[in-house]
Chains A and B, each alone.
Chain A
């Protein structure tokens, strides 16, 4: 089949899935945060608030796009575009699964395989700061300006430990292409311990994984590093003056950055689509078992033992249970199995990391500004360099690979 046609189809699928993920990530975040704080979270729109993202999108698009009179209009309008562009573009080099054959067509699961994939993501994330910085500056508001300045200072500072933490697994895996990086992490030690670079000999990259995660929190402006939008100091930070779709663009950019960063962590440290334990011990059936268990639980609580006081659960829970059951059966189809199982493992790992992001938001307070800067320059950066040196030494002592 035509290369362009395949690429077009893949782009459509990835874009659709990505956008849905962004919308529902927000629902998940609100739900998880609510349950951490002993609340219920969104509950009104649709069963268990499932249509809340749709309502939010409708609300934001139908609001008036208000441009304040005192702003620099060109940059004010440009900033959210830049933010969302740089946030969305990185997803195109992430490999979601191995090369597979679907309906007789051989293709890679993933949009593009650049042989400098890692550098591409770094480059895009390093120019991503312009959206926020410009938005803060163009708003002509002291709080926005402070937010924008904080954000650019923070992103410059945390990019260093992040880039250095990225280099150590690259030394182990010996390539810059993200697909080759994942392929290098295939296999198991002693038949059970996965060869992911977080566990790979000669020097497991646990420290650089932690450094990468911490820097990722700062790069995406998430709690505990969300000083650019610290509401008790800066009203709403860099997007104080934004409304309607412009505000939605900033909001979407933040979540898109989160997804990209977790995908990068999955690819570089957690072995991409390689399962947690080998296929001989039935890792291919894990998605089926997980979804079937979910389906059974939903059916049980919907039909046999409904929670008192939630009368709609009697109808919505069995429907959700049936959907989950159908999904679990999809993972058993021999035609779809080679596609869905690797993607499941990839999504599962990225999803765990995303949950970690939300969990930490519900747990930790915000840093003070001087603590933030001291932490990266006096602790994170030296530790990353020492880790890099030790990795380089270990790799050099081991000698060239096979």
Chain B
């Protein structure tokens, strides 16, 4: 049962990822990305990490992608026109390089997999409480540093977007 769900949603995630790149229309690409996020959330859920799954959906699908879709709709971006010029070097080199990359990945995974160990379904039993506790006990400094970083980013966005007032 778990394995079936895993295979189903993993293939949906990969399919949406491919469609994200292949699609010509920005809205279709954005929606494929949402599909990837959603199926990732389901995979987290299968592992038992319910909190992470919900946060994944709220933050990525619910906030960031809504903003993306909003901007695409506001700018009314149309379908990309396919470029006329064929880029010969990329066509010639692309396939061999991809093969090398996949081979490298497979080799690394093969080397590392025994030492990493495998994750079983429902392995994480940690709820919101444990995550909160470890955030504010063990990882307090990184957490605070990240929040300051986010604050700086917000200030930067405001400074960049501000209209000059004479």
Contact = CB atoms under 8 A, between A and B. Distances in A.
B and A form one assembly: yes
B63 A133 contact: no
A132 B31 CA distance: 14
B106 interface: no
A152 interface: yes
A122 B76 CA distance: 29
Given A115-B127, A119-B51, A127 B57 contact: yes
B66 A130 contact: yes
B128 interface: yes
A159 B67 CA distance: 13
A207 interface: no
B51 A156 contact: no
B74 interface: yes
Contacts of B51: 116, 119
Nearest to B54: A119
Q: Which of the four size classes fits the interface of chain B?
A: 20 to 34
A130 B51 CA distance: 22
A145 B127 contact: no
Interface in B35-84: 38, 50-51, 54-55, 57-58, 61-63, 66-67, 69-70, 73-74, 76
B57 A123 contact: yes
A122 B66 contact: no
A126 interface: yes
Contact of A152 (B27, B50, B70, B128): B70
Contacts, number: 72
Contacts of B66: 126, 129-130, 133, 152, 155-156
Contacts of B13: none
Contacts of B76: 145
Nearest to B52: A116
B34 interface: yes
**Dominant SS among interface residues on chain A:** helix
A260 to B, nearest CB: 15
Interface string A121-164: 01110110110011011000000010011001101100100000
B73 A116 contact: no
Q: Which of B38, B50, B51, B61: most chain A CB closer than 10 A?
A: B50
A127 B62 contact: yes
Given A116-B127, A156-B67, A123 B54 contact: yes
Contacts of B70: 133, 149, 152-153, 156
Interface string B3-33: 0000000000000000000000001000100
Interface string A323-350: 0000000000000000000000000000
Nearest to B127: A115
Interface of A: 75, 114-116, 119-120, 122-124, 126-127, 129-130, 133-134, 136-137, 145, 148-149, 152-153, 155-156, 159, 176
Given A134-B69, A148-B73, A156-B66, 12 more contacts: A75-B31, A115-B127, A122-B54, A122-B62, A124-B57, A126-B58, A126-B62, A126-B63, A127-B34, A127-B38, A145-B73, A153-B70
